[in-house]
Structure 1
Amino acid sequence: MTDKHLSSQFDAELSNISTRVLEMGGLVESQLRQAIYALHHLSLETTDQVLELEQKVNRLEVEIDHDITSTMSRRQPTARDLRLLVGVSRVIVNLERAGDEAARIARMIKSFIEAGAPRTLPASDLAGSAQHAADLLQRTLDAFARLDVTAALAIIDEDDHLDAEYEGYLRKLITYMMEDPRTISTSLNLLFLAKAVERVGDHAKNIAEATIYVAKGADVRHTTAAQRESAVQ
């Protein structure tokens, strides 16, 4: 078997792994969109659909992880190919955790609905932040597919805006609880929902960092904006 043939097989394996990662990402995006719909419309049926997708996401993570391990052991990749496999491994971990957050949101919404939560609380504000987080995840997956460093840098910076939205929402809930103690239980549920949404943004940022690692070989975790800009030059 020629080296060229081996190289073609390896390229096909890498392409298949990348395709499955994007498939997994699409499922997690769907989970988030459905969770947002459930929150906005207080739909029990939709929360069940989110939880059904969780099983598919978990299965894909295990399968892709197996493919990565198998490819590494057989091909012993170097340089950018190795970075790609390491980066993909980081991506699927963060996708699975983002899916966990979507499932957590669905479970809390289900409990929220069954408890007869008042509609006067600012759930619509939370739906806006959740939409922001879902959009961020979609964009970071697109950046990873294209290994677009510029887009990845913008996503990392934008996660700070999502964090600010969370802090603003937290202050609003505290005001509601102070004004009417009867809303404390429901407000705490909303607070946990908001934290789950904020965590989705964190996972999107982590995938963006993995994108930069694959494309440039630079580890930009726990760095400032200036350090990240310098690292990708």
Structure 2
Amino acid sequence: MALPIILLSNENIEARNLVELTLQACEVARSAASQAVDGLLQGSERALQEVRKCEERLDDLDRELDQRLAPVITRITPEGAHELLACMKVVLDLERIGDLIVSFTERAVLVHNRIDMEDVNALTRMACVLENMLDQASKAFVGRSVDQALNVLRTDAEMDRLRSLLMVRHTESSEGLRGEESLQVLFMATALERAGDHAKNIAEETCHLATGHTVRHLIRGKDASSEQLFLDWLAQQSVTRA
């Protein structure tokens, strides 16, 4: 994925390379989510191995960024340093997403023949939503797009909804609770929901990078969602500047 014009100096090749490394990590995490769907639908050991390779690659990228960032961050502008710190946070979230996708896929391969198709469909939907969130989060980070970042925040609500539906299905009655299979389904749903939370963190970091303000500090009550409050704040800033 090609970089747009960004705050880092064009002469600082190493700093730009670290941003590229972050984008590589985004793509690796998205690929892991895609492979996880195959693991669920096919019970594929090959898919599990691919997911594990993605997780190992994310670990490597996280370590590489940590090792290379410190010497660079002291030689660039404050704006560039802010961007590299954002890269560090993004890659850390992606590394955690990789761990959660491995956990999901290991369980998926283990129980895919023993869980109801309704559960398979719901979990597949969650995994596809996660893949979409990661794709949108990556594009938002590249383009410093608040709109795309807010799409990720909105989509996270769908992850929460799907997990809640599975929770209700497996716990509200004795008929729904089916021993180990129910526990595995709920663990899998929780892993995907937590991965979605980390994708949401990336979107929030993008909003901060693009505007200089965080999403969370704008929340003053419980009547509006975080993304709506952020949109309202942006609109107010536009009026003030006009």
| TM score, norm. by length of structure 2 | 0.83
Contact kept, 8 Å, 1:83 with 1:213, in 2: the verdict is no
The separation in 2 between residues aligned to 1:225 and 1:49, in whole angstroms, is: 34
In 2 relative to 1, CA 98–118 (structure 1 residues): closer, same or farther, beyond 3 Å? closer
2:208 maps to which of 184, 189, 213: 213
Map of 1:3 onto structure 2: none
Map of 2:191 onto structure 1: 196
The separation in 2 between residues aligned to 1:210 and 1:199, in whole angstroms, is: 17
Map of 2:128 onto structure 1: 131
Q: Which amino acid aligns with 2:96?
A: R
Q: Give ranges in structure 2 of 5+ residues lacking alignment.
A: 1-8, 220-225, 238-242
Map of 2:33 onto structure 1: 32
Instruction: Give the 5 Å matches for 1:8-27.
Output: 8-10=10-12, 12-27=13-28
Contact kept, 8 Å, 1:40 with 1:124, in 2: the verdict is no
Give, in angstroms, the shift of residue 87 of structure 1.
Answer: 1.1
Contact kept, 8 Å, 1:57 with 1:99, in 2: the verdict is yes
Instruction: Give the 5 Å matches for 1:153-172.
Output: 153-172=150-169
In 2 relative to 1, CA 146–120 (structure 1 residues): closer, same or farther, beyond 3 Å? closer
Contact kept, 8 Å, 1:38 with 1:44, in 2: the verdict is yes
Map of 2:91 onto structure 1: 92
The separation in 2 between residues aligned to 1:164 and 1:230, in whole angstroms, is: 24
The separation in 2 between residues aligned to 1:209 and 1:118, in whole angstroms, is: 35
The separation in 2 between residues aligned to 1:110 and 1:186, in whole angstroms, is: 12
Give, in angstroms, the shift of residue 77 of structure 1.
Answer: 3.0
Q: Which amino acid aligns with 2:146?
A: V
In 2 relative to 1, CA 184–227 (structure 1 residues): closer, same or farther, beyond 3 Å? same
The CA RMSD measured in Å over matched residues stands at 2.1
In 2 relative to 1, CA 118–103 (structure 1 residues): closer, same or farther, beyond 3 Å? closer
In 2 relative to 1, CA 156–180 (structure 1 residues): closer, same or farther, beyond 3 Å? closer
**Residue 102 in structure 1 maps to residue 101 in structure 2:** yes
Quote the sequence identity (%): 26
Structure 1 window deviating more from structure 2 (46-55 vs 89-98): it is 46-55
Map of 1:179 onto structure 2: 175
Give, in angstroms, the shift of residue 110 of structure 1.
Answer: 3.2
Give, in angstroms, the shift of residue 148 of structure 1.
Answer: 0.5
In 2 relative to 1, CA 20–180 (structure 1 residues): closer, same or farther, beyond 3 Å? closer
Q: Higher helix proportion, which one?
A: 1
Map of 1:50 onto structure 2: 51
Q: Which amino acid aligns with 1:187?
A: S
Contact kept, 8 Å, 1:220 with 1:231, in 2: the verdict is no
The separation in 2 between residues aligned to 1:128 and 1:170, in whole angstroms, is: 15
| TM score, norm. by length of structure 1 | 0.86
Q: Secondary structure at the match of 1:178?
A: coil
Contact kept, 8 Å, 2:36 with 2:104, in 1: the verdict is yes
In 2 relative to 1, CA 178–65 (structure 1 residues): closer, same or farther, beyond 3 Å? same
Give, in angstroms, the shift of residue 128 of structure 1.
Answer: 1.0
Q: Give ranges in structure 1 of 5+ residues lacking alignment.
A: 1-6
Map of 1:4 onto structure 2: none
Map of 1:147 onto structure 2: 144
Give, in angstroms, the shift of residue 135 of structure 1.
Answer: 0.7
In 2 relative to 1, CA 216–180 (structure 1 residues): closer, same or farther, beyond 3 Å? closer
Map of 2:222 onto structure 1: none
Contact kept, 8 Å, 2:169 with 2:176, in 1: the verdict is no
The separation in 2 between residues aligned to 1:31 and 1:216, in whole angstroms, is: 30
